[in-house]
């Protein structure tokens, strides 16, 4: 059924966008290559002859309408999402097609929920922000760990990255977020986002074997502080990052990721440990895999497949855990991600 279905990828020539294009082709979709740089699109198209190329800019609604014409959905891979998300969502609403993005920017994701929830629900539209390693995977793990719980006292998501070589897009998005926060950091506590200027704590997180205990930056807030509370009553949502990875991200001279296999993945590995607590009970879900940018592609394309085939639980603006059957979704990600539920 999906053979030949067109999916517009905005920001197709970016680091993550290229993985998404390849995954769409592997899953039987036909990517439409779009983005702001016509020359980069032309270079990308040389790798996949026959794909439609449609340059578009967020300041030109007509160009976005052309880019989305005839597509069954759009995947936005172009950051900073503080700039691109709203215009591309507006174009998707005009076209009457689902919108998904891979935004890790906390404020941009919050903007999507607050600005478009009512309109999307009224239109019966589907908008899935943060359908990526940050925001999407953590939310799915928390949701799977919660099981039948609809509320919890705490949700913790610890990221055990072997290292983090950020892409230029990650650096640019981070700079936009820091500017929006005025240099402050953000955390989710007592049921709300809070901006503070103190130094985040460093502590030890007991990652499951074989990783074991590792030093992490506490309150290293990622998009999960938006996605998890969007559909669960959890007053405390905290995320953590291994010290080494946080240091590489912060260092201005850390190089971009470098391909180490035929699929273009880097050597980076990860373990994501999600723990939820309610009263005296504790539940856990763990995911392991390779390359946080590459693994975003199967995450967002699996989500896209489920949206266009009607395997969703709601409409409007929804996070991964809110719209999909989380355990089933996570199982479908094999062999890209190995998952352990329970315990």
- Tens-digit pLDDT string for the chain (343 aa): 456 899 999 999 999 999 999 999 999 999 999 999 999 999 999 999 999 999 999 999 999 999 999 999 999 999 999 999 999 999 999 999 999 999 999 999 999 999 999 999 999 999 999 999 999 999 999 999 999 999 999 999 999 999 999 999 999 999 999 999 998 999 999 999 999 999 999 999 999 988 999 999 999 999 999 999 999 999 999 999 999 999 999 999 999 999 999 999 999 999 999 999 999 999 999 999 999 999 999 999 999 999 999 999 999 999 999 999 999 999 999 999 999 998 5
| Stretch (H or E) spanning 158 | strand 154-161
Token pair, residue 215, equals 């030093």
Is residue 294 a contact partner of residue 263, using CB atoms and an 8 Å limit?
yes
Q: Give the whole-angstrom CA distance, residue 157 versus residue 127.
A: 24
Total structural domains within the chain: 2
Check whether residue 226 and residue 95 sit in a common domain. Answer: no
Residue-wise burial string across 257-292, b where 16 or more C-beta atoms lie within 10 A, e elsewhere: beeeeeebbbebebbbbbbbbeeeeebbbbbbbbbb
**142-161 as b/e, with b when 16 or more CB fall inside 10 Å?**
bbbbbeeeeebeebbbbbbb
Say if residue 267 is preceded by a cis peptide, omega within 30 of 0: no
Residue 167, domain member (yes or no): yes
pLDDT (0 to 100) of residue 2: 55
**The domain that contains 62 carries what CATH number?**
3.40.50.720
Q: Is residue 343 part of a domain?
A: no
Assess whether 141 and 159 both reside in one domain: yes
Other Cβ atoms less than 10 A from the Cβ of 242: the count is 25
What angle separates helix 81-95 from helix 168-181, to the nearest 10 degrees? Answer: 100
220: domain range?
133-292
Same domain for 253 and 264: yes
Are 242 and 110 within one domain?
no
Pairing between β-strand 192-196 and β-strand 185-189 as defined by DSSP bridges: antiparallel
Q: Is 327 exposed, middle or buried (0-12, 13-18, 19+ CB in 10 A)?
A: middle
Query: Do 41 and 66 belong to one domain?
Result: yes
Q: pTM score, two decimals?
A: 0.97
Are 22 and 122 in the same domain? yes
Both 284 and 301 in a single domain? no
| One domain for residues 121 and 138 | no
């Amino acid at each position: 059924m999906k053979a030949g279905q067109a999916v517009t990828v905005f920001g197709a020539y970016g680091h993550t966008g290229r993985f998404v294009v390849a995954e769409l082709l592997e899953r039987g979709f036909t990517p439409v290559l779009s983005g702001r740089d016509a020359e980069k699109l032309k270079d990308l198209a040389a790798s996949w002859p026959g794909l439609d190329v449609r340059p578009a800019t967020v300041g030109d609604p007509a160009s976005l309408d052309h880019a989305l014409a005839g597509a069954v959905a759009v995947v936005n891979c172009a950051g900073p999402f503080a700039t691109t998300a709203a215009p591309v969502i507006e174009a998707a609403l005009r076209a009457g097609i689902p919108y998904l993005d891979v935004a890790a920017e906390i404020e941009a994701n919050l903007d999507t929920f607050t600005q478009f929830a009512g309109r999307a629900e009224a239109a019966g539209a589907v908008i899935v922000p943060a359908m990526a390693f940050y925001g999407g995977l953590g939310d799915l793990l928390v949701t799977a760990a919660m099981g039948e719980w609809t509320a919890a006292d705490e949700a913790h998501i610890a990221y055990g990255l072997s290292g983090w070589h950020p892409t230029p897009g990650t650096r640019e998005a981070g700079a936009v977020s820091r500017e929006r926060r005025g240099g402050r950091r953000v955390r989710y506590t007592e049921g709300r986002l809070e901006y503070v200027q103190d130094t985040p704590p460093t502590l030890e997180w007991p990652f499951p074997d074989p990783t074991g205990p590792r030093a992490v930056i506490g309150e290293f807030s990622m998009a999960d502080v938006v996605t998890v509370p969007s559909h669960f009553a959890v007053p405390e949502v905290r995320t953590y990052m291994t010290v080494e990875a946080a240091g590489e991200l912060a260092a201005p001279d850390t190089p971009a990721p470098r391909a180490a296999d035929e699929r273009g993945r880097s050597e980076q590995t990860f373990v994501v440990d999600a723990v939820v607590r309610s009263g005296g009970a504790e539940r856990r879900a763990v995911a392991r895999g390779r390359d946080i940018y590459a693994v975003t592609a199967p995450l967002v394309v699996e989500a896209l497949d489920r949206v266009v085939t009607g395997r969703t639980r709601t409409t409007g603006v929804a996070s991964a855990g809110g719209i999909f059957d989380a355990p089933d979704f996570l199982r479908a990600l094999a062999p890209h991600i190995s998952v352990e539920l329970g315990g």
